[in-house]
A and B are shown apart, each in its own frame.
Chain A
Amino acid sequence: MIKKFIYLEWKAFIRSASFGKNLTMKIIIGFLMIYFSLIFIGMGVGAFYVLKDMKLEPLVTINKFLIYYFLFDLIIRLLLQSIPVLNIKPLLVLPFKKPTIVHFSLGKTVLSFFNWVHALFFIPFSVVLILNRYDVVGIVFWHLGIMAIIYINNFLNIILSNIDKLFVVFVVIILALAGAQYYKLFDITTFTTPFFQNFYDIEGVFLIPILVLIVLHAFTFKYFKKNLYLDAGLSVKQDIASTENLTWLNQFGTLGTFLKNDIKLIKRNKRSKTTIFMSFLFLFYGLIFFANSHQPAVMHIFAGIFVSGGFLFVFGQFVPSWDSSYYQLLMTQNVPYRGYITSKWWLIVIATFISTILASFYLFYGWEVYLTIVVGAIYNIGVNSHLVLLGGAFTKTPIDLSNAGGAFGDKKAFNVNAMLLSLPKILLPLALYSIGLYLNNKNLGLGLVAGAGVLGFIFRDKVFSLIEKRYKIEKYSTINAYKQKS
């Protein structure tokens, strides 16, 4: 019976809209994945020697940070890891036993990227420990304990994903714990380090997380099975709708019509709401660079671009896929492509502008830092906004906005691939900025980047025509791709 499921899954995978269409894209993503895997493995191998160099006991030090590692992992999962949904509804009335359906759904999550990615770090790390004459049995037990906790996170994510905005709670917990530790009020690691260390030191302690894992698995299984009804776990939550007219936008004509629609789109769909949250997080991205003098100066412009570009990267990336479910409607209405693209452009510009204003707290690090952010914003408005819209013509993965299912619904937003695809958009300003730095003139670098932005802004009519042409060429294949529901 499991064979049949695997058959279905395989078909769903190879026949999805995003598969195979854009081979170059797949190859690039493949390379990036290998690249990041190598970094992880390198970290696993290197961590031991680096910590040793710093005269720290490697295993104890890692154990010290594990609590944060696991909490952080849980947040990332709550945000990003979608629960793989087997297309359950059609299976319910077929002669499948319910436990089989549930077992398979849960089994699928076990194979998720979010689980095996940790192995890339922990396996090399464990191997290096063994090579350095740590007790083999102890390390194996420690490793099993860690794995069990990773899988505990996996099942926690499944159970908790039904609760909205839960990750915020965990973010607060982490911030509180880290803050308390930093100010030496309360140090959680004094309790957790020995616990993790005991996996290694005392034989049998690792059975604790494994037991917890088994109990949790049983619980998840029961929970899933109990909810396997159309009006329970498989039901779609219905929101109480309120009509908003947003009449103040009427003065902008067609542009206003689309803006009105986009605002409702963002407000009323889980997926798009998450993008707003993500772009808010981007605001703080600069802290890594500006608060840290070890970072090379050239990375400042990198941060500058990202601080104001959050919305651009996480929302703009998916234009026009946001409208994928009713793309045919738009194509039959009296809508010039230009009006459509322009309204999306304005949305990005407004968001970039707001982000720039919100980012004014960077003035705390000096006006030069803020200037970098403003220059980044100019570049985002002038160049990157056009680039994402242009890229949108090739984005043919439909977004299922209405997906707000119950326990089994895939409600997670945001796709990791898209993030990686945005990398090229920052290489050009990086290059321009480094020219300035190379000539020992930081302001020249900023000037070059801003200049590129202004140029892009001046020629935006030309660029829009180009984008419009692209959209028209891609029209039919886009419509076709959007007809496939993911």
Chain B
Amino acid sequence: MLINKKVKMCQFDNQIILSIRNLKSTIKMIQVNQLIKNYNGTTVLNIENLEIPKGQSFGLVGNNGAGKTTFFSLLLDLIQPSKGSIHNNNIQVNTSENWKSFTGSFLDESFLIGYLTPEEYFYFIGDLRNQNKADVDALLAQHEEFFNGEILKNKKYLRDLSKGNQKKVGIIATLIGNPEVIILDEPFANLDPTTVSRLKKIIKDLADNPNVTVLVSSHDLQHTVEVCDRIVALNKGEIVKDIKTSKETLQELESFFAV
């Protein structure tokens, strides 16, 4: 009788713990509803429903034209949805601009200001995100290894840096001001092998922070699987897979994308 009761209590406790956990992981950061993007009658993106909880590291994979960049552009209000909406921390992105203060993003080189030196660029972004020079300097010092001595104090404007080095600048700039949402489009492309492994570490560290939601897109299944808790595969604008990362994930994805 007594034992039975204890067991029951235990179950009850467990339930509480479980539900607290659920509660924690169900603070929605990104909420996508009935999102459709059409170009001249062709649907390039059609996402019925997608929720990304706070703290998740979210990987988006797919072939060219699957809609990865389109999705990120919609999320950043750079293009307008044909139908539906995206909420970023309960703010509808195309009606209010308040999401900008906690969202850092780097899609491509058009996010860089070519005539600035890397330092000036970082301070510029810092100014816009209310970070003083010391804050920015601290962040840069943290990532000195990532820069590999090729970025800072190099007497070069951003426009004269190589593609890979430009990417390094863009990626680190998204981290300025401790954003809660970080969006990186194809961060691994154009980087040398050493930098890729350093970048993976940076993204993993971010993913470990329960307050930071990371969204990464890539062609490279292996890299994405390594750094993300959850992987969504897009194909022709639709979600075809949504998996929590496990040992089997890579194989599953590879067999999916194999012809």
Interface residues of A (CB under 8 A from B): 236, 238-245, 254, 256-257, 260-261, 264-265, 268-269, 325-329, 331-336, 401-402, 476, 479-480, 482-483
Contacts and interface: CB of A to CB of B under 8 A. Distances in A.
Nearest to A237: B160
Contact of A261 (B79, B124, B154, B157): B124
Given A328-B111, A329-B113, A334-B101, A240 B124 contact: no
Contacts of A236: 160
A431 to B, nearest CB: 40
B114 interface: yes
A266 to B, nearest CB: 10
A261 B123 CA distance: 11
A239 B159 CA distance: 10
Contacts, number: 89
A268 B115 contact: yes
Choose among A257, A326, A334 the residue with the greatest number of B CB atoms under 10 Å from its CB.
A334
17 contacts: A240-B155, A241-B117, A242-B155, A243-B120, A256-B127, A260-B124, A261-B124, A265-B115, A326-B111, A326-B113, A327-B110, A329-B110, A332-B78, A332-B100, A333-B100, A333-B125, A335-B100
Choose among B115, B116, B120 the residue with the greatest number of A CB atoms under 10 Å from its CB.
B115
B172 to A, nearest CB: 14
B226 interface: no
Contacts of A244: 120
Nearest to A239: B157
B253 interface: no
B156 to A, nearest CB: 5
B111 A257 contact: no
Nearest to B115: A268
A256 B127 CA distance: 9
Interface string B115-135: 111011001110111000000
Contact of B156 (A241, A261, A268, A328): A241
B128 A243 contact: no
B112 interface: yes
A124 to B, nearest CB: 46
Nearest to A247: B133
Nearest to B130: A334
A483 B116 CA distance: 20
A326 B112 contact: yes
Q: At the interface, is chain B mostly helix, strand, loop or mixed?
A: loop
B115 A335 contact: no
A256 B79 CA distance: 29
A479 B115 CA distance: 20
Contacts of B156: 238, 241
Given A257-B124, A332-B78, A334-B128, A241 B157 contact: yes
Contact of A328 (B107, B159, B160): B107
A257 B97 contact: no
Nearest to A479: B78
A316 B104 CA distance: 30
Contacts of B124: 257, 260-261
B48 to A, nearest CB: 24
Interface residues of B, number: 33
B127 A254 contact: yes
B140 to A, nearest CB: 13
A328 B79 CA distance: 10
B77 A331 contact: yes
A333 B106 CA distance: 11
Contact of B128 (A239, A265, A333): A333
A240 B117 CA distance: 10
Nearest to B177: A334
B105 A325 contact: no
Contacts of A331: 76-78
A476 B125 contact: no
A327 B76 CA distance: 13
A240 B107 CA distance: 27
Contacts of A242: 117, 155
B105 A326 contact: no
Contacts of A325: 110, 113-114
B80 interface: yes
B103 interface: yes
Given A326-B110, A329-B110, A331-B78, A402 B159 contact: yes
B19 to A, nearest CB: 36
A326 B114 contact: yes
A337 to B, nearest CB: 9
A476 B80 CA distance: 7
A329 B112 contact: yes
Interface string B86-115: 000000000001001101010100111111
A403 to B, nearest CB: 10
Nearest to A257: B127
Contact of B115 (A254, A256, A402, A480): A402
B45 to A, nearest CB: 15
Choose among B76, B117, B127 the residue with the greatest number of A CB atoms under 10 Å from its CB.
B127
Given A243-B120, A334-B129, A261 B78 contact: no
B115 A269 contact: yes
Nearest to A268: B115
B100 A261 contact: no
Contacts of B80: 476
Nearest to A331: B78
Contacts of A328: 78, 107, 110-111
A483 B114 CA distance: 15
Nearest to B152: A243
A241 B156 CA distance: 5
A111 B122 CA distance: 46
Nearest to B174: A332
A422 to B, nearest CB: 26
Contacts of A482: 110
Nearest to B112: A326
A261 B97 CA distance: 22
Interface string B51-81: 0000000000000000000000000111110
Contacts of B115: 264-265, 268-269, 401-402
Contacts of A479: 78-79
A347 to B, nearest CB: 16
A480 B70 CA distance: 13
Choose among A327, A332, A333 the residue with the greatest number of B CB atoms under 10 Å from its CB.
A332
A18 B116 CA distance: 27
Given A243-B120, A401-B115, 6 more contacts: A241-B156, A242-B117, A325-B110, A327-B110, A333-B129, A482-B110
